[in-house]
Structure 1
Amino acid sequence: MPSVRVVSLVPSLTEAVAVSAPGALVGATDWCTHPADLDVARIGGTKNPDVPAIVALAPDLVIANEEENRAPDIAALRAAGVAVLVTEVRELERAFYELERVLAACGGERRPGWLVDAEAAWRDVEPLAGVTRESGRPRAVVPIWRRPWMVLGRDTFAGDLLARLGVDNAYAHHAERYPRVSLDELRAAELDLVVLPDEPYRFTPDDGPEAFPRTPAALVGGRHLTWYGPSLAEAPAVLGEALRAARR
């Protein structure tokens, strides 16, 4: 059993550590849903962790992410004498690097089998047949919230994955990473596809596609589109099938 006591504030990293360094995790957020049988102390959400509860667990390391977690919480943990490893992931290659760094720090195998498989799966991926148009790559929008509508903008991990699958984000060059956009603007855009993940907003067949009656909608799992962990190994195939199904 690893001697390092770890608290994770990032759901995807929780899964990665749980399967690659068994026994290291002593705490995780309420949003850490994988593995399903994870039995550790719950310390609140990613945006509102219970700092005193984390400190009470006496962790050797807390793993966090610069986007998912708030700087004041990270600062509070460090002020309490807790070591915090902060990851930054905005594209796939960086995700692989950060995963190796996290697993090594947690006392696990630096390059477990699932990580090797994930690298191979994404290295060999091709733009998907049945998705790319004759005139070029399909242009998509990726809502992540409604009321108000928010979409993926520039410099995002999910946008990088879609680009590798042959899908261009219509807002990839927007000044903001997660811009608020009116539904009228989205409907007026020349789109070939709407990609609707089930997190952070839970889009479903009955909640989301009806807003874009003239545009094919691909419903995808957020774990495959936005998580960097064991799900990366199957993500190209799973996301690809969802994209193909929407274009049929």
Structure 2
Amino acid sequence: MPEFKDQLGHHFTFEKAPVRIVSLVPSQTELLYDLGLEDQLVGITKFCVHPFHLKSTKKIVGGTKKVHVEKIRLLQPDIIICNKEENTLEIVESLQGIAPVWVTNIITIEDSLEVILQFGNLFNRRTEARKWIDKIRFARQDFEAFVKNMPQQKAAYFIWKNPWMSAGCDTFINEMMKLNHFSNIYEDKGRYPEVIIQKIRIQGDPEIVFLSSEPYPFNEQDAFEVGRFTHHAKVIFVDGEMFSWYGTRLVKAFSYFRKLHERIS
């Protein structure tokens, strides 16, 4: 009987490839779809918006932080896909009596590629997984050549307000910032530090401030508020999916980053 291991080191055995899948991670729902597993997806979250039509064809079982356990139970899944950051330990433990719970832990692009490979093996989609891995690696190499001679720019990436919170170390967002030659002024303050916006110049005086489209809906008033305390920094609204979604979204992200640099320059 084949044995598999998730990124937290949990071991699983399956007599055959799991057929009924519940995904509680939006970016991984997109990945499963792109691997050709749309028919096997039976349950998703309300935040699983890509591709859009899944919201009308699959059972919505809650969000990423709060799920309807009984709805999931009634779907009789063979496997439930979670993520260490996006889903809580409480959710994982509450679902383990229903089906095997596979947990990913993605901080780097290599972690993301590992998950694609794992899903390819687990769901018998090896050829599709290899194609996507090759696409991502090629796009990454091409983008790295594009930014190779660009100078490092000090930046801050905000994900929340009241309190203001930024992306810090050991996050996928920070990895994307480094890839783009953006030096995160809050990298040494923890994973998602709370920030006193009035002290942003003292804390690192960024050249660029990013306001993400998710999870907080920043607006022009927020940009004006940031600008009051940075003076010279460029305040830019960015697509949060491109910085925080892993999996097959990465191919689109590299194209997006090129356009972002054009906007900045």
Q: TM-score, normalised by structure 2?
A: 0.84
Specify which of 177, 180, 186 is matched with residue 191 of structure 2: 177
- Aligned counterparts of 2:76 and 2:25: Cα–Cα separation in 1: 18
Query: Where does structure 1 lack aligned partners over 5 or more consecutive residues?
Result: none
* SS of alignment partner, residue 123 of structure 1: helix
Specify which of 63, 86, 91 is matched with residue 45 of structure 1: 63
- Aligned counterparts of 2:235 and 2:51: Cα–Cα separation in 1: 29
1:36–1:89 distance in 2 versus 1, CA, 3 Å: same
Query: Where does structure 2 lack aligned partners over 5 or more consecutive residues?
Result: 1-16
1:77 aligns with 2:95: yes
Report if aligned partners of 1:165, 1:240 keep a CA contact under 8 Å in 2.
no
* SS of alignment partner, residue 22 of structure 1: coil
Q: Which aligned pairs between 1:51-66 and structure 2 lie closer than 5 A?
A: 51-66=69-84
1:96-117 per-residue CA deviation (whole Å, 9 max, x = no partner) reads 1012213432343452533321
Number of the residue aligned with 1:90: 107
Q: Which aligned pairs between 1:94-243 and structure 2 lie closer than 5 A?
A: 94-109=111-126, 111-126=129-144, 132-133=150-151, 137-174=152-189, 176-188=190-202, 189-204=204-219, 206-213=220-227, 214=231, 215-243=233-261
- Work out the percentage of aligned pairs sharing the same amino acid: 30
Query: What's the CA shift for 1:37?
Result: 1.1
1:45-98 per-residue CA deviation (whole Å, 9 max, x = no partner) reads 0000111111110000000000000101111111x2410100000111111101
Number of the residue aligned with 1:27: 43
* RMSD of equivalent CA atoms: 2.1
Query: What's the CA shift for 1:3?
Result: 6.0
Report if aligned partners of 2:159, 2:211 keep a CA contact under 8 Å in 1.
yes
Query: What's the CA shift for 1:242?
Result: 1.7
2:68 alignment partner AA: D
* SS of alignment partner, residue 129 of structure 2: coil
1:149–1:131 distance in 2 versus 1, CA, 3 Å: farther
Which structure shows the higher helix fraction?
Answer: 2
1:100–1:64 distance in 2 versus 1, CA, 3 Å: same
- Aligned counterparts of 1:28 and 1:106: Cα–Cα separation in 2: 17
